[in-house]
Structure 1
Amino acid sequence: MTLSLRTAFALLAMAAVGLTLAGWAIGELMKLQPCPLCIFQRLLYLLIGLLALAGVLFPGARRLWGALLAVTAAGGVATAAYQSWLQYLPEVSMECGFGEPTVIEQIVDWFGVRWPAMFMATGFCSSKDWLFLGLSMANWSVVCFLTFLAAAVWLLLRRIEH
């Protein structure tokens, strides 16, 4: 079975939006405090969703969308891996939110002012308040972003059948 380009992009868009909503819902139900890196990952998932939606609407530019998806997913892997490192070694890491705001913190703050229910960062990046199968939400996010990265590479390398 082969997926059409539009179907593949639509599945990626739904997965990205679904992960965003699931993370938000888990946070709300369990009264978790999202940190700046959590919110930034949420924004990256939404960007992946938008890029995938662009792939649905304009599949002729699949290489462009695939490349942008790959770059965004790689940024997500790096962000989630950094947060995982902060969680595993909090004593040797510098907590986000202290000192001058980074570019990521400035982006998160900008979105947090405009839509606080979805993007307000109030937690610490080294906190592991939620675990599933022994992995934190940041650890699961690494897995999800790696999956998006693999899908983007597949879209880039895939041959188009006419």
Structure 2
Amino acid sequence: MTLTATRILNLIALLCVAAVAVALISQHVFDLRPCAWCVLQRLIYLTIAVVSWLGVLLARLPGIRRLAALVATCLSVSGFIAAWYQYTVAAKLFSCDLTFADRFIVKSGLDAHVPWLFGIFASCMDARVNLLGVEYAIWSLALFGLLALLGLAALLRRA
């Protein structure tokens, strides 16, 4: 079975939804509270999923699948940068207040309107948590890297 651009975009979307599902289970079942950078990455994952599935649904329009793959790749790179920043800088700060992630999520109103998904409940330092011995931020960084590579593969593949 060869991976077509459509299958790759579906895989990208499913991986993003799975990542957010794991984050929500961690938060609501295991009481691991997210910081602003965690929440920003959730938003990026969900945006990548929506863009990828729109690329699949609107694939009959010329260039839409490629555009979706390009946008998903760019968003994945931005998520990679956010995860890298969280791991290298924000996780060492006592507070995420007034960082880009905090300002963006608060100004968007997402934390107030959908707190179960986008609520900021911890500082970046407090949100440093390991899953199977690896920090969440590193897992996210790796997944965003994989998503960027898959996005490039979808961009270069035929329908």
Q: Deviations over 1:99-144 (max 9, x none)?
A: xx34432331210111111111011112354212321111100000
User: C-alpha separation between the residues in 1 aligned to 2:94 and 2:53?
Assistant: 37
Match of 2:130 in 1: 131
Instruction: Name the SS of the counterpart of 2:39 in structure 1.
Output: helix
Match for 2:149: what amino acid?
Answer: A
1:105 aligns with 2:115: no
Decide whether the 8 Å contact of 2:35 with 2:127 is kept in 1.
no
Higher RCO (CA < 8 A, seq sep 6+) = 2
How large is the Cα RMSD of the aligned pairs? 1.9
User: C-alpha separation between the residues in 1 aligned to 2:143 and 2:112?
Assistant: 27
User: C-alpha separation between the residues in 2 aligned to 1:154 and 1:9?
Assistant: 10
Decide whether the 8 Å contact of 2:110 with 2:118 is kept in 1.
yes
Decide whether the 8 Å contact of 1:80 with 1:141 is kept in 2.
yes
Give the drift of 1:41: 0.3
Match of 1:144 in 2: 143
Q: Map 1:74-93 to 2 at 5 A.
A: 74-86=77-89, 90=92, 93=93
Decide whether the 8 Å contact of 2:6 with 2:154 is kept in 1.
no
Give the drift of 1:94: 6.9
Decide whether the 8 Å contact of 1:86 with 1:125 is kept in 2.
no
User: C-alpha separation between the residues in 1 aligned to 2:72 and 2:96?
Assistant: 26
Give the drift of 1:71: 0.9
| Structure 1 unpaired stretches of 5+ | none
% of aligned pairs identical? 26
Give the drift of 1:14: 1.4
Decide whether the 8 Å contact of 1:83 with 1:125 is kept in 2.
yes
Instruction: Name the SS of the counterpart of 2:89 in structure 1.
Output: helix
| Structure 2 unpaired stretches of 5+ | none
TM superposition score normalised by structure 2? 0.87
Change (3 A) 1:34 1:135: same
User: C-alpha separation between the residues in 1 aligned to 2:94 and 2:75?
Assistant: 25
Runs of 4+ in 1 over 6 A off after TM superposition: none
Match of 2:32 in 1: 32
TM superposition score normalised by structure 1? 0.86
Q: Map 1:8-19 to 2 at 5 A.
A: 8-19=8-19
Instruction: Name the SS of the counterpart of 1:2 in structure 2.
Output: coil
Match of 2:53 in 1: 53
